[in-house]
Amino acid sequence: MEIGSKIKTIGLALALGTFMFACNQEAQNETNEEVNEAQAEMNEANDEMNNEMDNSYNDFEAWVNTNTERAETVTADEYREMRAEYKRREAEMEAESADWDDETRQAWENTKAEWNEFENKVQERLGDIDDVDVDVDVKKDNE
């Protein structure tokens, strides 16, 4: 009977070991699948965020390129409006620039340099233009 008891004990141990191994493999596979799904979601979110940043920068860069081509024809009023819009957009871009890679930062510096050249050309052509457009109508009543 002792041999039968030992065989039963060994059989039970093997069955328990096999069951534990199967459970561990199943749990491990499920965990790996969950980790892979979480990584895929994070990658997708990062890609979406990078695309949004790239799109906003690309829109701004296109706006700068379009407007800097007008350096020879822009009027003082148009220039004031363009400069105000540039400053507003520049502040937005500066706030986002902390998350940019080196390539985008370099492109940003080039864009700012291009705008600076534009401002220099316009001010050379039109003189020093103030940000504030003051329209003063002075009439004296000499009655």
Using one digit for the tens of pLDDT, what is the confidence trace for 1-42?
A: 577 777 878 877 777 777 666 666 776 777 777 767 877 777
Alpha-carbon gap, residue 3 to 98, rounded angstroms: 74
pLDDT tens profile 63-96: 888 888 888 888 888 889 989 999 998 998 888 8
**Which residue did the predictor score with more confidence, 137 or 86?**
86
Residue extents of the structural domains in the chain: 1-43, 50-129
For residues 98-103, give the mean pLDDT: 81
Question: How far is C-alpha 92 from the geometric centre of its chain's CA atoms?
Answer: 11
Alpha-carbon gap, residue 19 to 22, rounded angstroms: 5
Tokens of 23: 């459970």
pLDDT of residue 133: 46
Torsion-angle region of residue 141: left (phi > 0), alpha (psi -120 to 50) or beta? beta
Alpha-carbon gap, residue 9 to 130, rounded angstroms: 95
Has residue 59 got a pLDDT over 80? yes
Torsion-angle region of residue 128: left (phi > 0), alpha (psi -120 to 50) or beta? beta
pLDDT of residue 87: 93
pLDDT of residue 53: 66
